[in-house]
Amino acid sequence: MNLPIYQVDAFSDELFGGNPAAIVPLEKWLPDDLMQKIAAENNLAETAFFVPTQKGFHLRWFTPTVEIPLCGHATLASAFLLYNKLGYSADAVTFETTSGDLIVRRKDDGFIMDFPTSKAHPVATPDGLDQIIDAKVNGVLTCEQSIFSLVLTDSEEDVIKAKPDFNTLMKIAPGNFILTAPSEKYDFVSRVFVPEHGIPEDPVTGSAHCVSAPYWAEKLGKTELSARQVSERGGDILCSLRGDRVDLFGKAVLYLEGRINIS
């Protein structure tokens, strides 16, 4: 078996920025355990697989350890690949996923992804969370529709300097969380930690903004938001709230293409 594979840096217009995703286009599904092994071998935050359907494409996402229900950067990378390498030319592409139909359309030199929002609500702050995250914690919110909790802190500097102790963190809660704060240059900044899914820190996370953007929209009283994920690689996301949906705008760039040889 010989399969095409591509790697795309999503939420960036420059190589080595944003969040890298591997994309494997398929004509039909591989066994789940084989797709998981490919994702583990790639050892990226996400490997996406898609197959054609009558609507568009059925899309699935795998971390190195588990299949997940929603991923923004690998969806963006998949759309970029379809339009820029695989000859897709319709005005929009529909991805059928476990989180419903996700529609992506081109805009200028980037893409707009139509994603569902997830409403977060306050919960008690676990004892010692400040010390475990190494940042002042002003509150914690959780969300039943998402794997992420929101952890609020004072400033962009607090978010950048945080050094979570994952071993201790996973013994309490939250295990997967978005550390976020207001910013002078952007409406808000964040970092995203997903140790329960084998990703200590995710560089730029579209799905996390399904949780953080609605929170900041309500907090700031606006529906158009500029966001920056201040990881080492970093990336920008423009968020536009529409009721229970959010449009996420980002760019992408192709890093590599090759073949997977499976004997």
Q: pLDDT for 106-147, tens place per residue?
A: 998 999 999 999 999 999 998 888 988 889 999 999 988 788
The two tokens of residue 95 are 């991805």
- Residues 252 and 17 sit within 8 Å (Cβ to Cβ): no
What does DSSP say about strands 57-62 and 67-68: parallel, antiparallel, or unpaired? antiparallel
Three-state SS at 259: strand
Indicate the helix (H) or strand (E) that contains 123: strand 121-123
**pLDDT confidence bin for 163, thresholds 50/70/90:** very high
- Residues 72 and 113 sit within 8 Å (Cβ to Cβ): yes
Average predicted confidence (pLDDT) for the chain: 94
C-alpha span between 158 and 160 (Å, rounded):
6
Three-state SS at 191: strand
What does DSSP say about strands 110-116 and 245-250: parallel, antiparallel, or unpaired? antiparallel
CA angle 66-159-175, nearest 5°? 30
Instruction: Of 34-38, 117-121, 209-213, give the lowest mean pLDDT range.
Output: 117-121
The predicted structure's pLDDT at residue 172 = 64
Q: Which of 59, 10, 11 is nearest to 35 (CA)?
A: 59
- Residues 245 and 213 sit within 8 Å (Cβ to Cβ): no
CA angle 131-122-161, nearest 5°? 30
- Residues 206 and 113 sit within 8 Å (Cβ to Cβ): yes
Residue in 14, 46, 156, 201 annotated catalytic: 46
For residue 173, pLDDT beyond 80: no
Its pTM stands at 0.92
The predicted structure's pLDDT at residue 175 = 72
C-alpha span between 43 and 45 (Å, rounded):
7
Give the burial class of 22: count Cβ atoms within 10 A of its Cβ; 0-12 exposed, 13-18 middle, 19 or more buried. buried
C-alpha span between 19 and 164 (Å, rounded):
20
Which tens digit of pLDDT belongs to each residue from 222-262?
999 999 999 999 999 999 999 999 999 999 999 999 999 99
The two tokens of residue 185 are 């240059």
- Residues 42 and 255 sit within 8 Å (Cβ to Cβ): no
C-alpha span between 125 and 132 (Å, rounded):
12
The predicted structure's pLDDT at residue 198 = 82
Q: Which of 69, 7, 72 is nearest to 250 (CA)?
A: 72
232 a catalytic residue: no
DSSP 140-160: EEE-TTSS-EEEE-S-HHHHH
Nearby residues of 196 by Cβ (< 8 Å), 6 or more positions away: 147, 170, 175, 176
The pLDDT of 164-191, averaged and rounded, is 87
User: What single DSSP character describes residue 31?
Assistant: P
